[in-house]
């Protein structure tokens, strides 16, 4: 696997004396979608800002396709596109001018056909002659993406691309990210929406209080740390778990009307068959059953703690997607 971005021993202490990053080591593979998860203030934006040359590191080294971001800044920066967390665009420029200008900033020759394709892909073509201040919030966000893509970067950073956007734009964004990946672009996104990481990412990194706590392939992470649950609706409610079933990891739910079995994702078939046999031997009948799998969110909570995860989730509280997402 080829490394396109290498971060070594990176630390950041802000002028205030606050240590935002501590000895970060991270390699990003060419062509992957990497999701960086972490609660508010974990250091995600700081990390991205250093890689993009907006913030200086206190210690450590970052290389983009072999180019050092300090000594070989122009080459490194031209390979990167950044969609920042905060909406920042020139209100009085048109969409077309903003995006074309951004391409020029990186020394790329004009390429109207490419800019047109980017604007069409982002459903901005109809608005190309609009001044930015006449666009809706979601459209402004699309313009930021178009700007970031204007110079055909190999790596795209999306710092909370879907915070506060509607369901439709979120879907579009996912489509766009998949399309970029298919074209070989490496994507690094931060998000508080854990379901987003679960759906999109090849690998997941968890950062908390300036330290990387874990980097893992998503499927391996879900398998390793994920738990599954089997819920049985009992035909007769129980007051307590019968002693004969004490060896199983069982709980009662819904006032004794449900029996809940939590198990590791491995060996599930054998376990469940054996459990059902034990139940029948104990004379416990059920009318229905469902299984569910613990989400990345559960895993995240187990890593950073309930408080930190809740704080991260709170930022999403006024989000229009809340009702429609999980």
Residues numbered 33-92 forming contacts with ligand ATP, rule: CB under 6 A: 38, 40-46, 85
2 touches ligand ATP (CB under 6 A): no
Indicate the residue among 149 and 206 with the shorter CB distance to ligand ATP: 206
| Residue span binding Mg ion (CB under 5 A) among the ranges 38-46, 98-106, 230-238, 311-319 | 38-46
Distance between CA atoms of 172 and 160, rounded to whole angstroms?
Answer: 15
Nearest residue (CB) to ligand ATP, 47 versus 115: 47
Measured at the CA of 202, the angle between CA 290 and CA 122, to 5 degrees, comes to 100
Nearest CA among 82, 87, 196, 81 for reference residue 141? 87
Strands 155-159 and 80-83 turn out to be parallel
The binder of 14, among ligand ATP, Mg ion, none, by C-beta within 5 to 8 A per type, is ligand ATP
CB of 180 to ligand ATP, least distance (A): 22
CB of 44 to Mg ion, least distance (A): 5
Q: Figure out which of the listed residues 12, 28, 33, 45 binds Mg ion, where binding follows CB under 5 A.
A: 45
221: left (phi over 0), alpha (psi -120 to 50) or beta: alpha
Which tokens is 1 given?
Answer: 């696997």
Q: Residue 96 or residue 157: which is nearer to Mg ion going by CB?
A: 157
With respect to ligand ATP, which residue has the nearer C-beta, 99 or 309?
309
Residues between 82 and 101 that touch Mg ion (CB under 5 A): 85
Burial of 306 (0-12, 13-18, 19+ CB in 10 A): exposed
Give which of 47, 43, 324, 24 is closest to 193, Cα–Cα: 324
3-state helix, strand, coil in the chain (%, to 5): 40, 30, 35
d(CA 96, CA 129): 6
Residue 112: CB minimum distance to ligand ATP, A: 35
Of ligand ATP, Mg ion, none, which one does residue 81 interact with (CB within 5 to 8 Å by kind)? Answer: none
| Residues near Mg ion, by CB under 5 A | 44-45, 85
| Residues near ligand ATP, by CB under 6 A | 14, 16, 18, 20, 38, 40-46, 85
């Amino acid at each position: 696997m080829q490394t396109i971005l290498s971060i070594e021993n990176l630390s950041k202490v802000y002028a205030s004396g606050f240590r935002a990053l501590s000895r970060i080591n991270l390699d990003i593979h060419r062509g992957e979608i990497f999701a960086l998860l972490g609660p508010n203030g974990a250091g995600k934006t700081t990390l991205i800002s250093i890689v993009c040359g907006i913030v200086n590191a206190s210690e450590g080294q970052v290389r983009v396709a072999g180019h050092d971001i300090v000594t070989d800044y122009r080459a490194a920066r031209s390979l990167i596109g950044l969609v920042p967390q905060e909406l920042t665009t020139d209100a009085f420029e048109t969409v077309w001018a903003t995006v074309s200008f951004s391409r020029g900033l990186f020394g790329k020759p004009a390429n109207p056909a490419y800019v047109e394709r980017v604007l069409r892909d982002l459903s901005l073509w109809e608005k190309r002659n609009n001044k930015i201040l006449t666009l809706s919030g979601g459209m402004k966000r699309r313009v930021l993406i178009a700007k970031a893509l204007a110079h055909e970067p190999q790596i795209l950073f999306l710092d909370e691309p879907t915070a506060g956007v509607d369901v439709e734009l979120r879907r579009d964004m996912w489509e766009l990210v998949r399309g970029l990946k298919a074209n070989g672009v490496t994507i690094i996104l931060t998000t508080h929406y854990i379901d987003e990481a679960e759906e999109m990412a090849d690998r997941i990194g968890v950062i908390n209080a300036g330290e990387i706590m874990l980097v893992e392939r998503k499927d391996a992470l879900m398998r390793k740390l994920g738990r599954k649950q089997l819920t049985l609706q009992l035909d007769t409610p129980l007051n307590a778990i019968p002693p004969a079933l004490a060896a199983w990891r069982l709980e009662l739910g819904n006032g004794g009307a449900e029996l809940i079995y939590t198990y590791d994702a491995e060996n599930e078939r054998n376990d469940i068959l054996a459990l059902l046999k034990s139940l029948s031997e104990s004379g416990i009948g059920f009318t229905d059953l469902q299984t569910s799998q613990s989400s990345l969110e559960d895993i995240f909570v187990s890593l950073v703690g309930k408080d930190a995860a809740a704080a991260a989730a709170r930022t999403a509280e006024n989000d229009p997607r809340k009702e429609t997402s999980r």
